[in-house]
Copies of this chain bind each other. A is one copy, B any other.
Amino acid sequence: MFESAELGHTIDKERFDKEEPEVRHQLLEAQYELVKKADFPVVIILAGVDGAGKGETVNLLNEWMDPRHIQTNAFRPLGEEPSGRPPMWRFWRALPPKGRTALFIGSWYTQPLINRAYGKLKKAKLDQEIERILRFERMLTDEGTLLLKFWLHLSRDGQRKRFKELSKSKKTAWRVTDTDWKHLEMYKEFMAAGEHILRATSTADAPWLVVEGTDDRYRSLTVGRTILEALRRRLDHREKPHRPRAAPRVPPIDGVTVLDRLDLSRKVETKDEYDDELATLQGRLNQLSRHKKFENISVVAVFEGQDAAGKGGAIRRVTRALDARKYDVIPIAAPTDEEKARPYLWRFWRALPERGRMAIFDRSWYGRVLVERVEGFCAEPHWMRAYGEINDFERELADNRTVVVKFWLQISKDEQLRRFEERQETPFKQHKITDEDWRNRDKWDAYHSAISDMIDRTSSEHAPWTLVEANDKYYARLKVLRTLADAIDDAL
């Protein structure tokens, strides 16, 4: 994989001086067009051998292009996120909005590469990591990101020579650390790991570009030209962003879904029984939240359900059991413009709880496959891919000691009508019923199949759906509290 990057590629000064101004000028033009159109974001990863010019390339791109529209991220290798969020959290946070360019020195490749070279990551686990990266990058490109990945390469001798040069001058000696020398000793291990990872993550939409780093001029022009060509293709619409295709869906041919099998007549017989059980469950949940080990986990609770299904009431029964300093309720309405300019899961990543805290989502990322699907806000290929992206997201949470509990509160169409009418007749409830609620109700059947698909496709072992029979509010609230308490109990 690295053979042709050890050929000693060079460009002489004359040619460089002739070509550089043109590349530079066109890059700047392309960048301004990108900023102006703000159609897609650009993510550029600079990985590779130490000393091969990652830092120099980042500086050069900031020099050639307008640094005002570039954000440079230098991430050091990191085991666990200090905030307790999943490892990918910091990369999500650094994703640029449409029109902007983000450079990454240190990326989601850094940790797997080092761990593999040090022998800390077995083959099977490495392959899992690769699979995870592939899915993440697939999400990025599906969302329209122009993703460019450069591997700057040096041969072993080239690297040794480079380190020696740098060490000679007082001005640059600080750049070669003991770790660098150690990694030079491990050159073979690093290359084996790199080759494996690069091969496995070179996809049609985001291939790796291996560039020899020995000659500054060759490296600079190659990287510059590559970025320019990629930008122009997208800006001139010569290359469409990757369009995911939707796999065909076949609804259950007998028309029966999991929702139909719910026994909505379930209820708590008396108010006394409810009050007793409510107090018991809230007490239990409160104790669990004060358990010592609760500080080692996070909790994400998702509430979805039809309009008037009782999400708000159920959430309040949960929060009343908890110290207000331990939870956040996150109501999901229309995204802000900062959120709209990034992949749709970005807004949920930014709201993830720290360790020892619970985030309660009142509606959630499932809007993508519910309202956005039914209302046509989002084309089929895009909501179709959301199932997989959501599963990946929840898997990252679960892998990071986050308890994910998801509730679907289901009521019957008749019960919804009764509640709508009651809201309209009760003065202080009128604000809870809008024309939109009635319009949504007209689409009951479309929602019905969207809900069924959602439950089928996103009920996973690590983040199962709990269907809540919610015609009886008491029954629903108790089931929610019991399920949540059980899930936390299991995790402690």
Interface of A toward B, CB cutoff 8 Å: 25, 29, 32, 36, 55, 58-59, 61-63, 66-72, 74, 103, 105, 174, 290, 312, 315-316, 319-320, 323-325, 327-331, 336-338, 362, 428, 431
- Contact residue among B72, B74, B290, B329 (Cβ-Cβ distance under 8 Å from A68): B329
B324 touches A68 (CB 8 A): no
A428 touches B336 (CB 8 A): no
B428 touches A72 (CB 8 A): no
B55 touches A316 (CB 8 A): no
B362 touches A68 (CB 8 A): yes
The answer to whether residues A63 and B320 also contact, given A36-B431, A55-B325, A315-B68 and a CB cut-off of 8 A, is yes
B55 touches A312 (CB 8 A): no
Min C-beta distance of A430 to chain B, whole Å: 10
Closest to A28 in B: B428
The answer to whether residues A59 and B315 also contact, given A69-B331, A336-B336 and a CB cut-off of 8 A, is no
* Residues in chain B near residue A71, CB distance under 8 A: 328
A319 touches B428 (CB 8 A): no
B323 touches A59 (CB 8 A): yes
Of the candidates A36, A324, A337, the one having the most CB atoms from chain B within 10 angstroms of its own CB is: A324
Give CA–CA (A213, B50) in the complex, Å.
Answer: 62
A72 touches B324 (CB 8 A): yes
* Residues in chain B near residue A323, CB distance under 8 A: 55, 59
A319 touches B69 (CB 8 A): no
Min C-beta distance of A25 to chain B, whole Å: 7
B36 touches A324 (CB 8 A): no
The answer to whether residues A325 and B431 also contact, given A62-B319, A67-B316, A319-B67 and a CB cut-off of 8 A, is no
The 5 closest A-B pairs by CB, nearest first: A74-B325, A68-B331, A72-B324, A62-B324, A68-B329
Give CA–CA (A319, B66) in the complex, Å.
Answer: 10
Give CA–CA (A319, B316) in the complex, Å.
Answer: 51
The answer to whether residues A72 and B325 also contact, given A29-B428, A431-B32 and a CB cut-off of 8 A, is yes
B58 touches A324 (CB 8 A): yes
Could you list some 24 contacts between A and B, CB below 8 A?
A32-B431, A36-B431, A55-B324, A58-B325, A59-B323, A59-B324, A62-B319, A62-B320, A63-B316, A67-B315, A67-B324, A68-B312, A68-B315, A68-B330, A69-B331, A71-B328, A72-B324, A72-B325, A72-B327, A74-B325, A105-B325, A174-B290, A336-B336, A338-B338
